[in-house]
Amino acid sequence: MPIIKSVKGTSPSIPQNCFIAENATIVGDVTMGDQCSVWFNAVIRGDVHYIKMGDKVNVQDGAVIHATYQKSPTNIGNNVSIGHNAIVHGCTIHNNVLIGMGSIVMDDCIVESNSIIAAGAVVTQNTRVEAGSIYAGVPAKKVKDISKDLISGEIDRIANNYVKYSSWFKDH
């Protein structure tokens, strides 16, 4: 069973159609939308501020979502993939975004829609990622604009695949 825990009287809100892996942890003020998935060893910790997630958000293996006490909540839009071992902390992620494996998005960042944060990138505090762009590196900088093919071929494909993958686990 996953660890789903109340903190200071606030419990996570998780729709029935979400998949939560057996060793995932979700605590406190966390609100999830429909068709989300939280994979093995992922942690979503809404103990110091709220975390809101839209529909079709997948939080892949080992990823951590947290916030900053009394300062920076975490807001995540629809159709967002948070890659393996990524850290999303006290920031805003708009719709149709891919956060690459092992990347870090820090406090008070805004990642606008139809964007990709490359694997291993570090998006430093207060950075605004332009809509329709790819940011990479340490610290992360814009490397190019996203094509329509990349939006459907990567961002949409991955989010839709994780809805499919989670169905494999819910059926058994």
- Going by C-alpha positions, the residue among 116, 150, 105, 112 that lies closest to residue 131 is 112
In the chain, % of residues over pLDDT 90? 92
Express each pLDDT in 54-73 by its tens digit.
999 999 999 999 999 999 99
In a domain, residue 84? The reply is yes
* Residue 132 in domain: yes
* pLDDT attached to residue 87: 98
Q: Tell me what the pLDDT averaged over the chain comes to.
A: 96
Backbone φ and ψ of 9, nearest 5°? 80, 5
Mean pLDDT in residue range 129-154: 93
- pLDDT, position 124: 98
The predicted structure's pLDDT at residue 94: 98
How many domains would you assign to the chain? Answer: 1
In this prediction the pTM is 0.96
Residue 168 and residue 130: Cα distance in Å, rounded? 35
Residue 103 lies in a domain: yes
For residue range 15-26, list pLDDT tens digits in order.
999 999 999 999
Q: For residue 105, what are the domain limits?
A: 3-151
Q: Does 172 map to a domain?
A: no
Q: Is residue 14 part of a domain?
A: yes
**Per-residue confidence band for 137, with pLDDT thresholds at 50, 70 and 90:** very high
pLDDT of residue 171 exceeding 80: no
For residue 50, the domain's CATH number is 2.160.10.10
* 3-state percent helix, strand, coil for the chain, nearest multiple of 5: 15, 40, 45
| pLDDT exceeds 80 at position 170 | no
Identify whether 157 is part of a domain: no
Torsion of CA 148, 140, 68, 55, to 10 degrees: 10
Q: How confident is the model at residue 149 (pLDDT cuts 50, 70, 90)?
A: confident
- pLDDT band of 150, cuts 50, 70, 90: confident
Residue 148 is predicted with a pLDDT of 84
Whether residue 164 lies inside any domain: the answer is no
Q: Would you state the pLDDT for residue 172?
A: 52
| Residue 168, in any domain of the structure | no
H or E segment at 39? none
